[in-house]
């Protein structure tokens, strides 16, 4: 099954040999070139003894070389684990035993120094790319493994050390196929990728989906405002799927900064709630709403999607994976009431994906529990209110941090915020907030704003201002990093 992605690449190469598949910052690849390079890389990896069930730890930036490595590894049935080129490796990666490693000299040296047990090595550098010699012949699978995992993605680490989830080729294919159908992705679309492939959403949407759809993807090694604006204009990007920070930065482009986004037909935010302020600012500047996609590594492949017609809505009650809002006993709540968001597996019709979801440890009966709190409006639009485990105890009351964050983000001079418990675990535990301002704003003004919209016990007792909030490797605001360094 792992080779299905490689065979699909071979099929698309025959259909679109000269069509651009991947555009990177240093080079581009047609479908034919991507296939030829992946085939050569598969032969080399096999000659180095890398095969089914083995891990390849890849310290590569997003770009054409990563695509070559991924499809070569998928052909052989081994697992690619993308990791940051700089920074420490997680304990879970270090505990894998002997692995293959791909990266430049600095990455390989730091990985060894961190304790990574490296066997085979594929060297890479920014000028010449992957150091893979020309090898002729046809590769073959020496060992067959049923449903081998081909990619390791990680949680964002927002609340602790990232957890690695392994994905099979079949799961990646089905998830990408659903997004193509649900979001109407076409072969003439141009996608823009600005995030790491450690993110499961980014990997599905930009690493696998374009190949299935037969479209092209423009890949930036990391998000850069100027490069993103230029790419959208020059490559006529039609679909932009990214985290809220990307849309926030673009929405705050100076008015005298020329940005032609007329080619965009679909914008999708994922990974964290997108505030109404950013939604409206982006729409007013560029004339297009931002949809939101709700999903997570803990309950993948389930997801729901809002096309951007309703600000702050993340999905719908119906869809490929129907959603419900339930109380602590699993009883469905009325519209407008807040409870835990669950996916109703009894309504999932895709047998392959349903079989994956039924094995999820967070499933109880027909419901897959997400750990997120949410509510429906009268039109069955789904809104996320906060995390179930982020409740702050104020006296005998419980305060949802997400509810307070939503109010704070609704202030026109608040760019981003994080709500946390003051004196956690003490008898005088209270609500605290840290805020990044967008203009002049005092703590007293913001406190009065909250008092007009929230019950007294929900209002922040202290408000701190910062120039920026800590973010994890996926670009998401991290409460774990903030509280660890507070």
Token pair of 263, please? Answer: 């080619």
Is the pLDDT assigned to residue 273 strictly greater than 80?
Answer: yes
Average pLDDT over residues 206-212: 96
Q: Phi and psi at residue 80, in whole multiples of 5°? A: -90, 130
pTM for this prediction = 0.83
Give the distance between the most distant pair of CA atoms in the chain.
73
Tell me if domain 4-222 and domain 239-386 are identical in fold. Answer: yes
pLDDT class for 145, splitting at 50, 70, 90?
very low
More confident residue, 186 or 478: 186
User: For residue 200, what pLDDT is reported?
Assistant: 84
Average per-residue pLDDT in the chain?
89
User: For residue 484, what pLDDT is reported?
Assistant: 65
Average pLDDT over residues 414-443: 90
pLDDT class for 88, splitting at 50, 70, 90?
confident
Is the pLDDT assigned to residue 144 strictly greater than 50?
Answer: no
Please give the CATH number for the structural domain made up of 395-484.
Answer: 3.30.300.30
Q: Lowest-pLDDT range, 172-181, 351-360, 363-372?
A: 351-360
User: For residue 159, what pLDDT is reported?
Assistant: 53
Q: Lowest-pLDDT range, 64-73, 230-239, 468-477?
A: 468-477
Domain boundaries, the chain: 4-222, 239-386, 395-484
Q: Which of 266, 202, 207 is nearest to 238 (CA)?
A: 266
| Whole-number percent of the chain with pLDDT over 90 | 62
User: For residue 450, what pLDDT is reported?
Assistant: 94
- The class (CATH top level) of 4-222 is alpha beta
Average pLDDT over residues 313-327: 93
User: For residue 232, what pLDDT is reported?
Assistant: 98
Q: Which of 156, 49, 65, 154 is nearest to 102 (CA)?
A: 65
Q: Which of 135, 47, 58 is nearest to 104 (CA)?
A: 58
User: For residue 291, what pLDDT is reported?
Assistant: 94
Three-state secondary structure string covering the chain: CCCHHHHHHHHHHHHCCCCEEEECCCCEEEHHHHHHHHHHHHHHHHHCCCCCCCEEEECCCCCHHHHHHHHHHHHHCCEEEECCCCCCCCHHHHCCCCEEEEECHHHHHHHHHHCCCEEEEEEEECCCEECCCCCCCCCCCCCCCCCCEEEEEECCCCCCCCCEEEEEHHHHHHHHHHHHHHHCCCCCCEEEECCCCCCHHHHHHHHHHHHHHCCEEEECCCCCHHHHHHHHHHCCCCEEEECHHHHHHHHCCCCCCCCCCCCCCEEEEECCCCCHHHHHHHHHHHCCCCEEEEECHHHCCCEEEECCCCCCCCEECCCCCCEEEECCCCCECCCCCCEEEEEEHHHCCCHHHHHHHHCCCCEECCEEEEEEEEEECCCCEEEEEEEHHHEEEECCEEEEHHHHHHHHHCCCCEEEEEEEEECCCCCCCEEEEEEEECCCCCHHHHHHHHHCCCCHHHCCCEEEECCCCCECCCCCECHHHHHHCC
8-36: pLDDT as tens digits: 999 999 999 999 999 999 999 999 999 99
Q: Please give the CATH superfamily to which domain 239-386 belongs.
A: ANL, N-terminal domain (3.40.50.12780)
User: For residue 98, what pLDDT is reported?
Assistant: 93
Is the pLDDT assigned to residue 157 strictly greater than 60?
Answer: no
User: For residue 53, what pLDDT is reported?
Assistant: 86
Average pLDDT over residues 4-11: 91
């Amino acid at each position: 099954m792992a080779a299905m992605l490689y065979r699909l690449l071979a099929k698309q190469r025959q259909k679109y040999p000269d069509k651009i598949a991947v555009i990177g910052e240093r080079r581009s690849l047609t479908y034919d070139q991507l296939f030829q390079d992946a085939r050569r890389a598969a032969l080399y990896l096999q000659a180095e003894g890398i095969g089914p069930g083995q891990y390849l730890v890849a310290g590569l930036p997003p770009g054409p070389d990563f695509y070559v490595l991924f499809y070569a590894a998928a052909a052989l049935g081994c697992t690619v684990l993308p990791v940051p080129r700089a920074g420490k490796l997680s304990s879970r990666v270090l505990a894998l035993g002997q692995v293959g490693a791909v990266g430049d000299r600095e990455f390989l040296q730091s990985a060894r120094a961190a304790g990574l047990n490296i066997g085979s090595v594929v060297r890479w550098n920014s000028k010449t790319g992957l150091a893979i010699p020309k090898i002729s012949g046809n590769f073959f699978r020496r060992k067959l493994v049923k449903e081998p995992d081909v990619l390791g993605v990680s949680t964002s680490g927002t609340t602790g050390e990232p957890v690695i989830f392994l994905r099979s080729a079949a799961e990646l294919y089905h998830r990408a196929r659903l997004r193509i159908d649900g979001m109407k992705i076409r072969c003439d679309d141009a996608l823009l990728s600005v995030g790491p492939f450690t993110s499961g959403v980014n990997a599905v949407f930009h690493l696998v989906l374009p190949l299935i759809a037969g479209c092209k993807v423009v890949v930036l090694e990391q998000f850069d405002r100027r490069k993103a604006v230029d790419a959208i204009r020059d490559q006529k990007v039609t679909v932009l799927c990214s985290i809220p920070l990307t849309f926030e930065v673009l929405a705050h482009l100076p008015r005298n900064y020329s940005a032609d986004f007329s080619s965009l037909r679909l914008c999708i935010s994922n990974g964290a709630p997108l505030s109404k302020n950013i939604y409206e600012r982006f729409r007013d500047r560029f004339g297009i709403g931002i949809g939101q996609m709700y999903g997570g590594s803990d309950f993948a492949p389930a997801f729901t999607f809002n096309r951007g017609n309703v600000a702050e809505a993340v999905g719908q009650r119906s869809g490929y994976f129907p959603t419900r809002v339930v109380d602590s006993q699993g009883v469905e709540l009325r519209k407008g009431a807040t409870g835990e968001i669950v996916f109703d597996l009894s309504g999932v019709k895709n047998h392959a994906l349903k079989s994956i979801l039924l094995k999820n440890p967070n499933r109880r009966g027909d419901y897959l529990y997400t750990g997120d709190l949410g509510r429906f409006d009268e039109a069955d639009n789904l809104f996320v209110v906060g995390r179930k485990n982020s409740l702050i105890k104020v006296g005998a009351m419980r305060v949802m941090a997400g509810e307070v964050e939503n109010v704070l983000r609704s202030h026109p001079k608040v760019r981003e915020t994080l709500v946390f418990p003051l004196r956690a675990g003490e008898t005088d535990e209270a609500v605290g907030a840290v805020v990044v301002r967008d203009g002049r704003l005092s703590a007293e003004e913001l406190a009065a704003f909250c008092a007009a919209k929230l019950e007294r016990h929900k209002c922040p007792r202290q408000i701190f201002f910062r120039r920026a909030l800590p973010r994890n490797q996926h670009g998401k605001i991290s409460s774990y990093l903030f509280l660890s360094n507070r």
